[in-house]
Chains A and B, each alone.
Chain A
Amino acid sequence: MSTSGYWKTASRLTQIGVGKDEATGAISYPIYPSATYRHPAVGESTGFDYTRSGNPTRQVLEDSLAELEGGARACVFSSGMAALTTLFLHFRAGDHLIVSQDLYGGTYRILTEIFDKLGLRASYVDTTDTAAVIAVIKPESRALLVETPGNPLLGIADLVALGEACREHKLLFVVDNTFLTPVLQRPFDFGADVVVHSATKYLGGHNDLCAGVLVARDEALGERLYFLQNSTGGILSPQDCWLLMRSLKTLPLRLERHCANALKVAQWLCLHPRVSSVYYPGLHDHPGHALSQRQANGFGGMLSFRVDSETTACRVLKRLKLISFAESLGGVESLMTLPAVQTHGDIPEPERLRLGICERLLRFSVGIEDVDDIIADLDQALE
């Protein structure tokens, strides 16, 4: 498999696990449910002792994810939040984090409810404004956590500029790459130290598993994250590791269709009389459009739009037929969410409204169904 270093991403993804099972040559790598492993003798090990510490199925997945992002080591977890929990345990009481204000509500919740009482403080800033980020850096700041595109308003942060700021101020640069995946955006190319994923979303892609990923750029930090993964135990089970590997094989194909469908839907929504604004980085008038073109190979499958009234928003959610009204995103099936109530319900109302997350705002994870059917469903729901 020594030629794999030259393969393009699509080939690497298709070939995940192939050739790894030397015992049988199985193309699909086996699921190892075993909790523990027989030792050949005292002080000897097959490389696997106990599944929390290491599992063959998880190993193949983690190696593939590290290679895909271009990092030294990846660790997988039982959810995106379990990945972030583990990352936050890397810091100490008294440390300070700078975090995108346009971020997933669950990240906000864990910082305010769990890590605040453990002494970890956070400032929430508009990370599309690099100067605003630099302005909140304090002596005890340790890391910058950026989601780009943002959630749910799809703001684009300048990864090059933020990477430079982090280097200058000795901050760990953490990028949540859930929305675009390494197929469309490679944060390590811009100086990121850690990449985070909720793999429940595009990486998994079928709304049938919860998983999280941390990838470290260098070996030392990778070793530290592995120590925390093993010590805290929020690992991904072997069955779900296998499902995730299976999902990754179709990731480039799925993303291609997600992007194409999202652009068409965004353009259609722009022309609808009941829609007051559309947030999609692929639209020419999106403020982050040019920046997005520079740092990513696509605009992704996520968009948000604001309708004329809260009544319209409720009616749309009730009348959708093909599109499901459900939390989550990134699956082959189209899902629509009301962020103010669901994904961002844990952010206090005044703060939420200041960010523009009102009850007229709908977030849409555009699936890979035929785009004409998606638009027809939106059309009847908005009527």
Chain B
Amino acid sequence: MQPVLKLDSVTHYFGGLKAVSNFNLDLPEGVLWGLIGPNGAGKTTIFNLITGVYIPTQGKIYFLSEDITRYKPHTVVSRGIARTFQNLRIFPTLTALDNIRIAGHFRMKYGILGATIRSKDFYTSEKELTEKAMHLLELFKLHDRAYSPAKSLPYGELRRLEIARALATDPKLLLLDEPAAGMNPKEVENLMEMILWIRDHFKLTVYLIEHHMKVVMGICERIKVMDFGETIAEGNSSDIQNDPKVIEAYLGRQKNHAKG
């Protein structure tokens, strides 16, 4: 089966610094895979390369066989890739509802003229969008907050709002950048369930970056480990946990004198 997302020896430099080196990925449809690595390993850079925020120095990125390497972010989104951010990027003064509705922006069936004279298309299109957004808010238990400015929402709800916003773009592939950041163990528990539920309910492929080992080991079917831009290991959770290179990257080299 052809992969949903394919990264073909992607390399990216920031000036002289090699942030990502020869990164390969074949993400099959419907999977939930993870990417881990210490701080500064280049994980978020991978997401930025996929979504068009950066253009790779070398290599190609394919989404459903389409070469999206040089696409701008908004085009990438319109093809069906949505993402969340490590540090929440919500539109703070806009209402929760508007945060979601913006994500339906590129599917609107009216232009500036339609908006100006308030054409029939405008009303039907807006109604559809609002209903869809309300439905999403309900699914994520945010419907009471629909008319509150996003900045007034507590952190956990903002996390959910951001995921809901990503889903509002009707993606086929969802990229989650450290969704468990700043969450307590109970919230992490719920998050893991939610990610699995999202994958099944929206029939998505999910690729996840996470620091939180419990999340990655608990739900990811296959994990890739990065360190200093290099892929150092790949496999299922038990492979990874026993891989000496991974242990070294996270805990440092095992000194011989420790054994005496």
Q: Do A and B come from the same complex?
A: no
B-side residues, CB < 8 A to A, are: none
